[in-house]
């Protein structure tokens, strides 16, 4: 099935919420691998997944990404559909929040439109240096205080949160029951090997999700799963 932009926009519209709605977006092989033979995820998705990936960015207020993914997937500048954003009353580009404990962020990502989210007890010298070039939100001792982060997002009117991973960050959000929606592309590939899953962490939880859609595209499936709870 070929999806046009209007159809993708309709399928992936954020619900109207006053609190931040946390959407995560991943691709996985049939046997659960989150990376392909090159150790990255981009090679797993087909053309439609690539278009959905881009459109999800265009629909968001803030893109949240772990520093590991930003490093491994060589994150750089990105383009969004400014006409679509204008029509939806969104800012010209979404902010990008880079999540890090060690504050090892690629230099080219330390630009004014981005922000870094870390713990309050992060290295003070690194914090001071980073703050010369980029906004830093430092909340929580030992681990990031996610409810505080989401409150800060809400105060800025950022209710459309898009988390692009990776699996460690995703696992922490899942463990805290903060994932409202998972957009998962299932690629028609068997990978074996030792690749990570799309979510992992120290604790196993049991959170039921409801299927919102499953659409065949490029031989795989585009799926969207929602966690039902009071908005
Ligand atoms: N299949 C997919 O859709 C998909 C999506 C994204 C990524 N990936 C793949 O996943 C792999 C990377 O996995 P990963 O688990 O290492 O990714 P990750 O979660 O992006 O990276 C882990 C790093 O991000 C920072 N981080 C993540 N969660 C944090 C938290 N709660 N608090 C503080 N810092 C946090 C830390 O950075 P510091 O080291 O700077 O402290 C940590 O070392 C790559 O191979 C990538 O290609 C796949």
pLDDT number for residue 4: 86
**Which among 88, 46, 60, 44 has a CA at the least distance from the CA of 164?**
60
pLDDT tens digit sequence for 72-89? 999 998 899 999 999 999
pLDDT number for residue 113: 87
pLDDT tens digit sequence for 89-138? 999 999 999 999 999 999 999 998 899 999 999 999 999 999 999 999 99
pLDDT number for residue 230: 63
Q: Do the bridges between strand 135-138 and strand 181-187 make them parallel or antiparallel, or are there none, so unpaired?
A: unpaired
Ligand 1 centroid, distance to 166 Cα (angstroms): 4
pLDDT number for residue 29: 98
Ligand 1 centroid, distance to 89 Cα (angstroms): 31
DSSP SS3 for 216: strand
**Is 102 close to ligand 1, i.e. is its CB under 6 Å away?**
yes
pLDDT number for residue 231: 53
Ligand 1 centroid, distance to 211 Cα (angstroms): 26
**Is 39 close to ligand 1, i.e. is its CB under 6 Å away?**
yes
Report the alpha-carbon distance of residue 185 to residue 201 in Å, rounded: 21
pLDDT tens digit sequence for 175-224? 999 999 999 999 999 999 999 999 999 989 999 999 999 999 999 999 99
**Is 121 close to ligand 1, i.e. is its CB under 6 Å away?**
no
Q: Which of 106, 116, 141, 169 to mutate to test the pocket of ligand 1 (most atoms within 8 A of CB)?
A: 169
pLDDT number for residue 3: 82
Report the pLDDT averaged over residues 11-16.
Answer: 96
């Amino acid at each position: 099935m070929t999806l046009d932009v209007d159809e993708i926009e309709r399928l992936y519209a954020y619900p109207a919420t006053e609190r931040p709605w946390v959407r995560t977006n991943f691709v996985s092989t049939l046997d659960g691998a989150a990376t392909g033979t090159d150790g990255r995820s981009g090679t797993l998705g087909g053309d439609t997944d690539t278009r959905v990936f881009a459109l999800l960015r265009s629909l968001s207020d803030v893109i949240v990404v772990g520093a590991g993914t930003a490093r491994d997937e060589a994150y750089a500048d990105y383009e969004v559909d400014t006409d679509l954003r204008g029509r939806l009353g969104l800012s010209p580009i979404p902010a990008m929040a880079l999540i890090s404990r060690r504050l090892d962020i690629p230099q080219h990502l330390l630009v004014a439109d981005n922000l870094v989210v870390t713990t309050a007890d992060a290295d003070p010298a690194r914090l001071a240096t980073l703050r010369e070039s980029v906004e830093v939100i430092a909340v929580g001792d030992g681990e990031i205080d996610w409810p505080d982060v989401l409150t800060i997002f809400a105060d800025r009117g950022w209710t459309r949160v898009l988390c692009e991973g990776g699996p460690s960050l995703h696992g922490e959000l899942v463990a805290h029951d903060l994932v409202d929606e998972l957009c998962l592309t299932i690629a028609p590939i068997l990978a074996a090997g030792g690749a990570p899953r799309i979510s992992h962490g120290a604790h196993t939880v049991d959170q039921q999700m409801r299927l919102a859609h499953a659409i065949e595209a490029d031989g795989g499936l585009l799926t969207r799963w929602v966690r039902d709870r009071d908005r």
